[in-house]
Amino acid sequence: MKLDLTDKQIIQLLGADARMSNNQMAKAIGVTEGTVRNRIQKLIQNKIIKIAVINNINRMDNPAVAFVGLDVETRSKDSIAKSLSKMKEVRFVSTLIGRHDLMAFILAEDITKLSRVLYEDISSLPGVRFFESSIGLKYYKYDYRWARILD
């Protein structure tokens, strides 16, 4: 689906506040309320956007973030990626070109849980040859308006 200016303007407005009414958006962009309604429906149906509730990470008491690069047996790559995806604390999983075979981001409720995910759950996956992890200390930027919409 090709996005035009109206689509992009709608995405931008909803990216700031998805509670904005169709009417308000129509006025802001200069199109009819019906256009806004149709466009939003199409954008959602085609999984170009999703409307989401995002929770502030600072509401967690002692969140622990880690970035993990994994080197794995080639034939196990897909099954390891799937196993990682099933872990609740693993927030991002992708195969890579370069750097490592796979990359995962972890968000755990605390450092104890994080170390359990790394050294029990991930270490015990068959086919994992080696992984290196970095512990997140501070976010300088995080643009939560962008992700992959997969389900």
Partner 1 sequence: MKVSLDDLDHKILKILESDGRAPAKYIAEQLSVNEVTVSKRLTKIIEGGFCKIIAIADFEKCGFDYLLPIGIRVHGEKLEEVADILSRLNEVFSVNVVSGIQDLEILCATQTLQETKIFLDQTLPAIPGIKSIAPAIASNVYKFETDWTPFANEA
Which one of residues 5, 30, 97, 124 is an interface residue with partner 1 (CB under 8 A)?
97
CA proximity to 81, closest of 124, 17, 128: 128
Q: Quick check: 111 binds partner 1 (CB under 8 A)?
A: no
Question: C-beta of 77: minimal distance to partner 1 in Å?
Answer: 9
Q: Quick check: 5 binds partner 1 (CB under 8 A)?
A: no
Question: C-beta of 124: minimal distance to partner 1 in Å?
Answer: 19
Integer angstrom CA distances of residue 135 from 67, 104, 111: 6, 12, 10
List binders of partner 1 among 48-67 (CB under 8 A).
48-60, 63, 65, 67
Which one of residues 5, 19, 75, 124 is an interface residue with partner 1 (CB under 8 A)?
19
Query: Do 81 and 95 form a contact (C-beta atoms < 8 A)?
Result: yes
In terms of phi and psi (left: phi > 0; alpha: psi -120 to 50; beta: otherwise), the region of 92 is beta
